[in-house]
């Protein structure tokens, strides 16, 4: 009995560490981005965590239908739309809104059909429109649980936060962007600068994943735009790339 108890303890420890390791990948950047936003007195307008699996499954019609049933069974509280067909692509979407946490979850199964072969891509997206530190653990736990339950392989993670500062930046936008970059522990890669807009790409070796641009790794994008009509500055920070248009 002691051996069985030890084995169960070891298994439980393994899965808890697995969950934590998966949880840290996408949410560590989110936590650090939020801290920088708060320090800069930026009002959070929206934040997103997104993960996707390139090829969730490649099968036939029966296999595809079984896959859809499995995903739906894992998300019994989600509301599912009728499948949308466009050419050889089937798009199936389910959503769930949590009023207590003020979160919206969205799952999309995109399936490409060719010669009776079905190749599906799974996308999970969590969106919030405000950020409260006391809900951090609940949000991260939910995201980690979804990751573990939905994806059979290691998915790609994306993080994006948008906000607004009630006045225009005190210094040049390029200076502000580089200040944010340094606070995030990232190194400069490249940037696009205009009088009222700047987009900066950087690399933080502690964050995953990364993409390559002009032969260099990057996994942080920062965009700042001054709006003279409202005397405000829009701030977008994402990893490895921005999800929203800027």
Dihedral angle of Cα 106, 234, 155, 201, to the nearest 10 degrees: 160
pLDDT tens digits, one per residue of 71-112: 999 999 999 999 999 999 999 999 999 866 688 999 999 999
User: Cβ(33)–Cβ(159) under 8 Å?
Assistant: yes
Q: State the total domains in the chain.
A: 2
The per-residue pLDDT for 28 is 77
35 and 81: one domain? yes
Residue 37 and residue 80 in one domain: yes
Contact 163, 235 (CB under 8 A): yes
Domain of 112? Answer: 2-162
What the block records as the tokens of 17 is 């560490």
Residues 146 and 172 in one domain: no
My answer on whether 184 and 75 are in the same domain is no
pTM as predicted? 0.82
Could you tell me if 150 and 209 lie in one domain? no
């Amino acid at each position: 009995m002691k051996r069985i108890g030890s084995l169960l303890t070891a298994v439980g420890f393994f899965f808890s560490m697995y969950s934590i390791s998966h949880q840290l990948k996408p949410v560590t950047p989110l936590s650090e981005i939020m801290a920088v936003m708060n320090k800069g007195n930026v009002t959070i307008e929206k934040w997103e965590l997104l993960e996707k699996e390139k090829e969730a499954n490649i099968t036939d019609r029966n296999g595809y239908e079984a896959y859809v049933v499995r995903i739906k069974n894992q998300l019994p509280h989600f509301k599912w739309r009728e499948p949308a067909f466009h050419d050889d692509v089937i798009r199936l979407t389910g959503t769930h809104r949590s009023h207590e946490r003020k979160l919206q979850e969205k799952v999309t199964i995109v399936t490409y059909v060719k010669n009776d072969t079905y190749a599906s891509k799974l996308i999970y997206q969590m969106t919030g429109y405000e950020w409260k530190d006391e809900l951090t653990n609940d949000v991260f736990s939910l995201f980690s649980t979804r990751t573990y339950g939905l994806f059979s392989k290691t998915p790609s993670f994306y993080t994006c936060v948008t906000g607004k500062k009630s006045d225009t930046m005190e210094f040049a936008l390029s200076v502000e962007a580089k200040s944010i970059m340094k606070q995030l522990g990232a190194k400069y890669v490249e940037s696009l600068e205009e009088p009222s807009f700047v987009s900066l790409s950087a690399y933080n070796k502690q964050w995953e994943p990364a993409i390559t641009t002009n032969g260099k790794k990057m996994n942080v994008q920062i965009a700042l735009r001054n709006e003279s009509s409202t005397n405000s500055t829009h701030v977008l920070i994402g990893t490895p790339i921005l999800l929203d248009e800027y």
